[in-house]
Chain A
Amino acid sequence: MNINATLIGQSIAFLLFVGFCMKYVWPPIMQALEERKKKIADGLAAAERGRHEQELAEKRAQQVIHEAKDKANEIISQAQRRGNEIVDEAKGDARVEGEKIMAATKVEIEQEANRVREELRTQVAAVALTGAAKILSREIDDKAHTDLLEELVSQI
Protein backbone atom coordinates (compact mmCIF):
# COMPACT_ATOMS: atom_id res chain seq x y z
CA MET A 1 0.00 0.00 0.00
CA ASN A 2 2.11 2.83 -1.29
CA ILE A 3 1.18 6.31 -2.27
CA ASN A 4 2.46 6.82 -5.78
CA ALA A 5 1.68 8.33 -9.14
CA THR A 6 -1.59 6.40 -9.22
CA LEU A 7 -2.86 9.30 -7.12
CA ILE A 8 -2.28 11.72 -9.98
CA GLY A 9 -3.72 9.29 -12.49
CA GLN A 10 -6.84 8.89 -10.40
CA SER A 11 -7.23 12.66 -10.05
CA ILE A 12 -6.98 13.12 -13.78
CA ALA A 13 -9.38 10.25 -14.51
CA PHE A 14 -11.77 11.66 -11.94
CA LEU A 15 -11.69 15.14 -13.49
CA LEU A 16 -12.15 13.71 -16.97
CA PHE A 17 -15.19 11.72 -15.86
CA VAL A 18 -16.64 14.76 -14.11
CA GLY A 19 -16.08 16.84 -17.23
CA PHE A 20 -17.71 14.23 -19.44
CA CYS A 21 -20.64 13.90 -17.09
CA MET A 22 -21.04 17.67 -16.90
CA LYS A 23 -20.96 18.11 -20.64
CA TYR A 24 -22.64 15.09 -22.16
CA VAL A 25 -24.68 13.37 -19.46
CA TRP A 26 -26.21 15.76 -16.99
CA PRO A 27 -27.72 18.47 -19.25
CA PRO A 28 -29.66 16.22 -21.68
CA ILE A 29 -31.10 14.02 -18.96
CA MET A 30 -31.98 17.00 -16.78
CA GLN A 31 -33.60 18.65 -19.76
CA ALA A 32 -35.67 15.54 -20.45
CA LEU A 33 -36.71 15.46 -16.81
CA GLU A 34 -37.69 19.12 -16.85
CA GLU A 35 -39.63 18.66 -20.05
CA ARG A 36 -41.48 15.69 -18.65
CA LYS A 37 -42.24 17.64 -15.49
CA LYS A 38 -43.67 20.44 -17.58
CA LYS A 39 -45.61 18.01 -19.71
CA ILE A 40 -47.14 16.37 -16.67
CA ALA A 41 -47.96 19.74 -15.15
CA ASP A 42 -49.58 20.84 -18.40
CA GLY A 43 -51.52 17.59 -18.58
CA LEU A 44 -52.78 17.99 -15.06
CA ALA A 45 -53.77 21.59 -15.70
CA ALA A 46 -55.57 20.53 -18.87
CA ALA A 47 -57.38 17.80 -17.00
CA GLU A 48 -58.41 20.30 -14.34
CA ARG A 49 -59.63 22.71 -17.02
CA GLY A 50 -61.50 19.90 -18.72
CA ARG A 51 -63.22 18.93 -15.51
CA HIS A 52 -64.16 22.53 -14.87
CA GLU A 53 -65.54 22.87 -18.37
CA GLN A 54 -67.49 19.68 -18.01
CA GLU A 55 -69.03 20.99 -14.82
CA LEU A 56 -70.00 24.19 -16.55
CA ALA A 57 -71.43 22.29 -19.49
CA GLU A 58 -73.45 20.09 -17.17
CA LYS A 59 -74.83 23.13 -15.45
CA ARG A 60 -75.64 24.71 -18.77
CA ALA A 61 -77.30 21.55 -20.00
CA GLN A 62 -79.43 21.38 -16.89
CA GLN A 63 -80.42 24.98 -17.37
CA VAL A 64 -81.33 24.34 -21.01
CA ILE A 65 -83.39 21.31 -20.02
CA HIS A 66 -85.13 23.34 -17.36
CA GLU A 67 -85.93 26.11 -19.80
CA ALA A 68 -87.17 23.61 -22.35
CA LYS A 69 -89.44 22.05 -19.78
CA ASP A 70 -90.83 25.44 -18.84
CA LYS A 71 -91.42 26.29 -22.45
CA ALA A 72 -93.07 22.96 -23.11
CA ASN A 73 -95.37 23.45 -20.15
CA GLU A 74 -96.26 26.91 -21.35
CA ILE A 75 -96.95 25.63 -24.84
CA ILE A 76 -99.11 22.84 -23.50
CA SER A 77 -101.13 25.15 -21.31
CA GLN A 78 -101.50 27.60 -24.16
CA ALA A 79 -102.65 24.84 -26.42
CA GLN A 80 -105.14 23.71 -23.84
CA ARG A 81 -106.42 27.21 -23.46
CA ARG A 82 -106.64 27.61 -27.18
CA GLY A 83 -108.42 24.27 -27.47
CA ASN A 84 -110.95 25.26 -24.88
CA GLU A 85 -111.47 28.53 -26.63
CA ILE A 86 -112.03 26.77 -29.94
CA VAL A 87 -114.44 24.35 -28.35
CA ASP A 88 -116.30 27.20 -26.69
CA GLU A 89 -116.42 29.12 -29.90
CA ALA A 90 -117.69 26.10 -31.75
CA LYS A 91 -120.31 25.55 -29.10
CA GLY A 92 -121.46 29.16 -29.36
CA ASP A 93 -121.52 29.03 -33.14
CA ALA A 94 -123.46 25.81 -33.09
CA ARG A 95 -125.97 27.19 -30.66
CA VAL A 96 -126.46 30.34 -32.72
CA GLU A 97 -126.76 28.33 -35.90
CA GLY A 98 -129.18 25.94 -34.26
CA GLU A 99 -131.28 28.77 -33.00
CA LYS A 100 -131.28 30.32 -36.40
CA ILE A 101 -132.36 27.09 -38.01
CA MET A 102 -135.01 26.59 -35.36
CA ALA A 103 -136.36 30.09 -35.90
CA ALA A 104 -136.42 29.62 -39.65
CA THR A 105 -138.12 26.29 -39.25
CA LYS A 106 -140.65 27.76 -36.86
CA VAL A 107 -141.43 30.52 -39.29
CA GLU A 108 -141.77 28.01 -42.08
CA ILE A 109 -143.98 25.78 -40.00
CA GLU A 110 -146.12 28.71 -39.05
CA GLN A 111 -146.39 29.80 -42.63
CA GLU A 112 -147.27 26.28 -43.66
CA ALA A 113 -149.78 25.99 -40.87
CA ASN A 114 -151.32 29.31 -41.82
CA ARG A 115 -151.43 28.29 -45.41
CA VAL A 116 -153.00 24.94 -44.53
CA ARG A 117 -155.38 26.62 -42.16
CA GLU A 118 -156.36 29.12 -44.81
CA GLU A 119 -156.85 26.34 -47.32
CA LEU A 120 -158.78 24.32 -44.83
CA ARG A 121 -160.88 27.29 -44.01
CA THR A 122 -161.74 27.88 -47.63
CA GLN A 123 -162.41 24.20 -48.14
CA VAL A 124 -164.57 24.02 -44.98
CA ALA A 125 -166.35 27.10 -46.16
CA ALA A 126 -166.88 25.48 -49.49
CA VAL A 127 -168.10 22.28 -47.82
CA ALA A 128 -170.25 24.31 -45.56
CA LEU A 129 -171.57 26.22 -48.49
CA THR A 130 -172.26 23.04 -50.34
CA GLY A 131 -173.94 21.68 -47.23
CA ALA A 132 -175.82 24.87 -46.86
CA ALA A 133 -176.84 24.83 -50.46
CA LYS A 134 -178.15 21.35 -49.94
CA ILE A 135 -179.98 22.42 -46.84
CA LEU A 136 -181.21 25.50 -48.60
CA SER A 137 -182.54 23.51 -51.38
CA ARG A 138 -184.90 22.13 -48.81
CA GLU A 139 -185.42 24.87 -46.35
CA ILE A 140 -184.68 28.40 -47.18
CA ASP A 141 -183.77 30.49 -44.28
CA ASP A 142 -180.63 32.16 -45.43
CA LYS A 143 -180.42 34.51 -42.69
CA ALA A 144 -180.53 32.07 -39.83
CA HIS A 145 -178.16 29.66 -41.52
CA THR A 146 -175.62 32.19 -42.65
CA ASP A 147 -175.05 33.26 -39.07
CA LEU A 148 -174.64 29.69 -38.18
CA LEU A 149 -172.13 29.16 -40.99
CA GLU A 150 -170.16 32.24 -40.11
CA GLU A 151 -169.84 31.05 -36.61
CA LEU A 152 -168.76 27.68 -37.86
CA VAL A 153 -166.08 29.14 -40.16
CA SER A 154 -164.62 31.35 -37.47
CA GLN A 155 -164.39 28.40 -35.16
CA ILE A 156 -162.19 26.44 -37.52
Chain B
Amino acid sequence: MAEELTVSSHIKHHLQNLAFGRKHELVDEQNNLWEPTGSWGFATSSSEAAQMGFWSIHVDTMLMSIMLGTLMMWYFRSVAKKASAGVPTAMQNFAEWIIEFVDTTVRGSFSGGKTTFVAPLALTIFGWVFLMNLMDLVPVDVIPFLVQHTTAYFVADLSPHEVYFKIVPTTDINAPLGMAVTVLLLIIFFSIKIKGLGGFFGELAFQPFGKKMLPFNFALEVVTLLAKPFSLAMRLFGNLYAGEMIFILIAIMYSAGMVIGSLGALLQVGWAIFHILIITLQAFIFMVLTVVYLDMAHQEHH
Protein backbone atom coordinates (compact mmCIF):
# COMPACT_ATOMS: atom_id res chain seq x y z
CA MET B 1 0.00 0.00 0.00
CA ALA B 2 1.86 3.00 -1.30
CA GLU B 3 1.21 6.13 0.67
CA GLU B 4 1.01 9.45 -1.05
CA LEU B 5 4.14 11.52 -0.61
CA THR B 6 3.17 14.29 1.74
CA VAL B 7 5.16 16.24 4.27
CA SER B 8 3.82 14.21 7.15
CA SER B 9 4.31 10.89 5.40
CA HIS B 10 7.84 11.96 4.52
CA ILE B 11 8.60 12.69 8.16
CA LYS B 12 6.92 9.53 9.36
CA HIS B 13 8.84 7.56 6.81
CA HIS B 14 12.09 8.96 8.07
CA LEU B 15 11.28 8.04 11.63
CA GLN B 16 10.53 4.40 10.93
CA ASN B 17 13.23 1.78 11.20
CA LEU B 18 13.60 -1.21 8.96
CA ALA B 19 11.90 -3.81 11.14
CA PHE B 20 12.23 -7.54 10.72
CA GLY B 21 9.77 -9.78 12.53
CA ARG B 22 6.54 -11.77 12.23
CA LYS B 23 4.59 -10.40 9.29
CA HIS B 24 1.12 -9.03 10.10
CA GLU B 25 -1.70 -7.99 7.90
CA LEU B 26 -4.62 -5.69 8.41
CA VAL B 27 -7.80 -7.74 8.57
CA ASP B 28 -10.27 -5.17 9.85
CA GLU B 29 -9.55 -1.63 8.80
CA GLN B 30 -12.28 -0.05 10.91
CA ASN B 31 -11.17 -1.56 14.20
CA ASN B 32 -7.51 -1.54 13.17
CA LEU B 33 -7.28 -5.27 13.72
CA TRP B 34 -4.07 -7.05 12.69
CA GLU B 35 -3.43 -10.76 12.32
CA PRO B 36 -0.07 -12.51 12.02
CA THR B 37 0.42 -14.10 8.65
CA GLY B 38 2.67 -16.80 10.04
CA SER B 39 5.69 -15.86 8.00
CA TRP B 40 8.69 -13.69 8.88
CA GLY B 41 9.82 -10.67 6.93
CA PHE B 42 10.32 -6.92 6.80
CA ALA B 43 7.50 -4.62 7.80
CA THR B 44 6.20 -2.61 4.89
CA SER B 45 4.49 0.08 6.98
CA SER B 46 4.90 1.76 10.34
CA SER B 47 1.68 0.22 11.59
CA GLU B 48 2.85 -3.25 10.69
CA ALA B 49 6.17 -2.62 12.41
CA ALA B 50 4.26 -1.59 15.52
CA GLN B 51 2.28 -4.85 15.39
CA MET B 52 5.42 -6.95 15.34
CA GLY B 53 5.91 -6.53 19.07
CA PHE B 54 9.08 -7.09 21.09
CA TRP B 55 10.40 -10.03 19.09
CA SER B 56 11.29 -8.05 16.02
CA ILE B 57 14.53 -6.42 15.18
CA HIS B 58 15.57 -3.15 13.56
CA VAL B 59 17.88 -4.39 10.88
CA ASP B 60 19.09 -0.93 9.84
CA THR B 61 20.06 -0.02 13.41
CA MET B 62 21.92 -3.28 13.90
CA LEU B 63 23.58 -3.09 10.51
CA MET B 64 24.76 0.48 10.84
CA SER B 65 25.88 0.20 14.46
CA ILE B 66 27.76 -3.03 13.95
CA MET B 67 29.33 -1.68 10.78
CA LEU B 68 30.45 1.50 12.53
CA GLY B 69 31.63 -0.38 15.60
CA THR B 70 33.60 -2.77 13.43
CA LEU B 71 35.08 0.14 11.50
CA MET B 72 36.19 1.74 14.72
CA MET B 73 37.61 -1.48 16.14
CA TRP B 74 39.36 -2.22 12.85
CA TYR B 75 40.99 1.19 12.90
CA PHE B 76 42.12 0.96 16.51
CA ARG B 77 43.22 -2.63 16.08
CA SER B 78 45.30 -1.79 13.02
CA VAL B 79 46.96 0.96 15.05
CA ALA B 80 47.42 -1.31 18.06
CA LYS B 81 49.12 -3.96 15.95
CA LYS B 82 51.71 -1.51 14.70
CA ALA B 83 51.91 0.57 17.86
CA SER B 84 55.48 1.40 18.74
CA ALA B 85 57.23 3.68 21.15
CA GLY B 86 59.04 5.35 18.27
CA VAL B 87 57.88 8.26 16.15
CA PRO B 88 54.15 7.65 15.55
CA THR B 89 52.51 7.75 12.14
CA ALA B 90 49.61 10.11 11.54
CA MET B 91 47.15 7.23 11.97
CA GLN B 92 48.74 6.18 15.21
CA ASN B 93 48.95 9.76 16.38
CA PHE B 94 45.23 10.28 15.95
CA ALA B 95 44.34 7.05 17.75
CA GLU B 96 46.76 7.90 20.55
CA TRP B 97 45.30 11.35 20.84
CA ILE B 98 41.82 9.90 21.38
CA ILE B 99 43.09 7.23 23.74
CA GLU B 100 45.06 9.70 25.81
CA PHE B 101 42.01 11.92 25.99
CA VAL B 102 39.81 9.05 27.14
CA ASP B 103 42.46 7.85 29.55
CA THR B 104 42.83 11.29 31.13
CA THR B 105 39.08 11.63 31.46
CA VAL B 106 38.72 8.20 33.02
CA ARG B 107 41.57 8.78 35.44
CA GLY B 108 39.99 12.09 36.38
CA SER B 109 36.64 10.64 37.35
CA PHE B 110 37.30 7.01 38.23
CA SER B 111 38.89 6.27 41.59
CA GLY B 112 37.99 2.61 41.90
CA GLY B 113 41.44 1.19 41.30
CA LYS B 114 42.62 -0.26 38.00
CA THR B 115 41.09 1.09 34.81
CA THR B 116 41.77 -2.00 32.71
CA PHE B 117 38.05 -2.47 32.13
CA VAL B 118 36.59 0.99 32.55
CA ALA B 119 39.00 2.75 30.21
CA PRO B 120 38.41 0.48 27.19
CA LEU B 121 34.71 0.65 27.99
CA ALA B 122 34.87 4.43 27.93
CA LEU B 123 36.81 4.41 24.66
CA THR B 124 34.28 2.07 23.07
CA ILE B 125 31.37 4.22 24.19
CA PHE B 126 32.99 7.44 23.05
CA GLY B 127 34.11 6.19 19.67
CA TRP B 128 31.07 4.14 18.88
CA VAL B 129 28.50 6.69 19.97
CA PHE B 130 30.41 9.40 18.16
CA LEU B 131 30.45 7.44 14.91
CA MET B 132 26.78 6.52 15.22
CA ASN B 133 25.93 10.16 15.88
CA LEU B 134 28.12 11.23 13.00
CA MET B 135 25.76 9.51 10.59
CA ASP B 136 23.40 12.33 11.40
CA LEU B 137 25.53 14.63 9.28
CA VAL B 138 24.97 12.57 6.14
CA PRO B 139 22.17 14.36 4.30
CA VAL B 140 18.98 12.70 5.55
CA ASP B 141 17.63 11.46 2.23
CA VAL B 142 20.73 10.17 0.49
CA ILE B 143 21.24 6.72 1.94
CA PRO B 144 17.55 5.90 2.53
CA PHE B 145 16.91 6.86 -1.09
CA LEU B 146 19.67 4.58 -2.35
CA VAL B 147 18.54 1.70 -0.16
CA GLN B 148 14.91 2.09 -1.09
CA HIS B 149 15.50 2.17 -4.80
CA THR B 150 18.05 -0.59 -4.97
CA THR B 151 15.85 -2.84 -2.81
CA ALA B 152 12.74 -2.04 -4.86
CA TYR B 153 14.74 -2.72 -8.01
CA PHE B 154 15.76 -6.19 -6.88
CA VAL B 155 12.56 -7.20 -5.05
CA ALA B 156 9.78 -7.24 -7.60
CA ASP B 157 6.61 -6.67 -5.56
CA LEU B 158 8.01 -3.90 -3.36
CA SER B 159 7.58 -0.19 -4.01
CA PRO B 160 10.43 2.07 -2.79
CA HIS B 161 8.07 3.59 -0.32
CA GLU B 162 7.59 0.34 1.52
CA VAL B 163 11.28 0.10 2.35
CA TYR B 164 12.42 1.88 5.47
CA PHE B 165 15.94 2.76 6.38
CA LYS B 166 17.37 4.91 9.16
CA ILE B 167 21.10 5.42 9.15
CA VAL B 168 21.52 6.99 12.60
CA PRO B 169 21.38 4.14 15.14
CA THR B 170 21.29 6.54 18.09
CA THR B 171 17.99 7.98 16.89
CA ASP B 172 16.50 4.53 17.44
CA ILE B 173 15.77 4.31 21.15
CA ASN B 174 16.89 0.69 21.17
CA ALA B 175 20.53 1.56 20.58
CA PRO B 176 21.03 4.06 23.44
CA LEU B 177 18.78 2.04 25.70
CA GLY B 178 20.63 -1.15 24.89
CA MET B 179 23.89 0.48 25.89
CA ALA B 180 22.31 2.02 28.97
CA VAL B 181 20.87 -1.32 30.08
CA THR B 182 24.33 -2.82 29.70
CA VAL B 183 25.69 0.00 31.82
CA LEU B 184 23.03 -0.72 34.43
CA LEU B 185 24.02 -4.37 34.48
CA LEU B 186 27.64 -3.33 34.88
CA ILE B 187 26.72 -1.00 37.75
CA ILE B 188 24.91 -3.85 39.51
CA PHE B 189 27.73 -6.29 38.73
CA PHE B 190 30.46 -4.05 40.12
CA SER B 191 28.38 -3.03 43.13
CA ILE B 192 27.92 -6.68 44.07
CA LYS B 193 31.52 -7.51 43.23
CA ILE B 194 32.94 -4.76 45.41
CA LYS B 195 30.42 -4.60 48.24
CA GLY B 196 28.95 -8.08 48.14
CA LEU B 197 25.30 -8.96 47.72
CA GLY B 198 24.50 -7.74 51.22
CA GLY B 199 26.36 -4.51 50.71
CA PHE B 200 24.53 -3.81 47.49
CA PHE B 201 21.06 -4.42 48.91
CA GLY B 202 22.02 -2.69 52.12
CA GLU B 203 22.81 0.35 50.05
CA LEU B 204 19.40 0.11 48.42
CA ALA B 205 17.48 -0.42 51.64
CA PHE B 206 19.22 1.27 54.59
CA GLN B 207 19.89 4.74 53.29
CA PRO B 208 19.35 7.61 53.28
CA PHE B 209 16.95 7.35 56.27
CA GLY B 210 18.11 4.37 58.29
CA LYS B 211 16.54 0.98 58.97
CA LYS B 212 13.15 2.20 60.14
CA MET B 213 12.31 3.71 56.79
CA LEU B 214 13.27 0.62 54.79
CA PRO B 215 10.47 0.55 52.19
CA PHE B 216 10.76 4.26 51.57
CA ASN B 217 14.53 4.00 51.24
CA PHE B 218 14.17 1.11 48.87
CA ALA B 219 11.70 2.92 46.63
CA LEU B 220 13.94 5.98 46.57
CA GLU B 221 17.16 4.11 45.86
CA VAL B 222 15.68 1.89 43.16
CA VAL B 223 14.44 4.97 41.36
CA THR B 224 17.90 6.52 41.74
CA LEU B 225 19.51 3.39 40.38
CA LEU B 226 17.15 3.09 37.42
CA ALA B 227 17.26 6.80 36.66
CA LYS B 228 20.96 6.55 35.90
CA PRO B 229 20.80 4.38 32.76
CA PHE B 230 17.42 5.72 31.76
CA SER B 231 18.64 9.32 31.77
CA LEU B 232 21.75 8.22 29.87
CA ALA B 233 19.69 6.67 27.11
CA MET B 234 17.10 9.42 27.00
CA ARG B 235 19.61 12.23 26.86
CA LEU B 236 21.46 10.69 23.91
CA PHE B 237 18.33 9.59 22.11
CA GLY B 238 16.52 12.89 22.69
CA ASN B 239 19.37 15.02 21.44
CA LEU B 240 19.96 12.99 18.33
CA TYR B 241 16.29 12.47 17.59
CA ALA B 242 15.64 16.17 17.83
CA GLY B 243 18.68 16.92 15.71
CA GLU B 244 17.60 14.50 13.04
CA MET B 245 14.10 15.88 13.11
CA ILE B 246 15.43 19.33 12.37
CA PHE B 247 17.46 17.98 9.47
CA ILE B 248 14.30 16.32 8.12
CA LEU B 249 12.34 19.54 8.45
CA ILE B 250 15.10 21.48 6.72
CA ALA B 251 15.12 18.88 3.98
CA ILE B 252 11.42 19.50 3.42
CA MET B 253 12.22 23.15 2.65
CA TYR B 254 13.96 21.99 -0.52
CA SER B 255 10.59 21.13 -2.00
CA ALA B 256 9.27 24.64 -1.45
CA GLY B 257 10.91 26.51 -4.31
CA MET B 258 14.21 28.19 -4.98
CA VAL B 259 14.11 30.89 -2.31
CA ILE B 260 13.08 28.75 0.63
CA GLY B 261 15.21 25.92 -0.75
CA SER B 262 18.37 28.00 -0.70
CA LEU B 263 17.47 29.25 2.76
CA GLY B 264 17.14 25.58 3.70
CA ALA B 265 20.59 24.87 2.31
CA LEU B 266 22.02 27.64 4.48
CA LEU B 267 20.15 26.38 7.49
CA GLN B 268 21.33 22.86 6.88
CA VAL B 269 24.95 23.94 6.81
CA GLY B 270 24.47 26.01 9.95
CA TRP B 271 22.67 23.25 11.80
CA ALA B 272 25.23 20.66 10.67
CA ILE B 273 28.07 22.78 12.02
CA PHE B 274 26.26 23.22 15.30
CA HIS B 275 25.39 19.57 15.32
CA ILE B 276 29.05 18.57 15.22
CA LEU B 277 29.22 20.00 18.72
CA ILE B 278 26.16 18.08 19.89
CA ILE B 279 27.40 14.84 18.37
CA THR B 280 30.74 15.05 20.14
CA LEU B 281 29.28 16.37 23.34
CA GLN B 282 26.67 13.62 23.61
CA ALA B 283 29.26 10.92 23.00
CA PHE B 284 31.46 12.54 25.64
CA ILE B 285 28.62 12.88 28.16
CA PHE B 286 27.59 9.25 27.71
CA MET B 287 31.19 8.21 28.31
CA VAL B 288 31.81 10.41 31.33
CA LEU B 289 28.53 9.55 33.04
CA THR B 290 29.12 5.86 32.52
CA VAL B 291 32.52 6.20 34.14
CA VAL B 292 31.07 8.23 36.99
CA TYR B 293 28.30 5.69 37.60
CA LEU B 294 30.81 2.85 37.63
CA ASP B 295 32.97 4.86 39.98
CA MET B 296 30.00 5.25 42.29
CA ALA B 297 29.39 1.52 42.08
CA HIS B 298 32.96 1.00 43.29
CA GLN B 299 32.59 3.27 46.29
CA GLU B 300 31.12 2.40 49.64
CA HIS B 301 28.46 4.73 50.94
CA HIS B 302 27.76 5.05 54.62
Interface set of A (CB-CB < 8 Å, partner B): 1-11, 13-15, 17-18, 20-22, 24-33, 35-36, 38-39
Contacts and interface: CB of A to CB of B under 8 A. Distances in A.
A21 B120 contact: yes
Contact of A20 (B53, B54, B73, B172): B73
A27 B103 CA distance: 12
Contacts of A35: 85
Nearest to B179: A14
Contact of B53 (A4, A13, A22, A26): A4
Contacts of A1: 15, 17, 172-173
Given A1-B173, A4-B19, A10-B178, A22 B121 contact: yes
B181 A30 contact: no
Contacts of B121: 18, 21-22
B175 interface: yes
In terms of DSSP, what is the predominant structure of the interface of chain A?
helix
Nearest to B121: A18
Contacts of A21: 73, 76, 120-121, 123-124
Contact of A4 (B57, B69, B123): B57
Interface string B117-161: 101110110001000000000000000000000000000000000
In terms of DSSP, what is the predominant structure of the interface of chain B?
helix
B219 to A, nearest CB: 24
Contacts of A25: 73, 76-77, 80, 120, 123
A6 B181 CA distance: 12
A26 B56 contact: no
B65 interface: yes
A17 B69 contact: yes
24 contacts: A2-B19, A2-B49, A4-B55, A4-B57, A6-B17, A6-B62, A6-B172, A6-B175, A7-B181, A9-B62, A10-B62, A10-B65, A10-B175, A11-B178, A14-B124, A17-B128, A18-B121, A18-B124, A22-B116, A25-B76, A26-B119, A29-B80, A29-B99, A33-B99
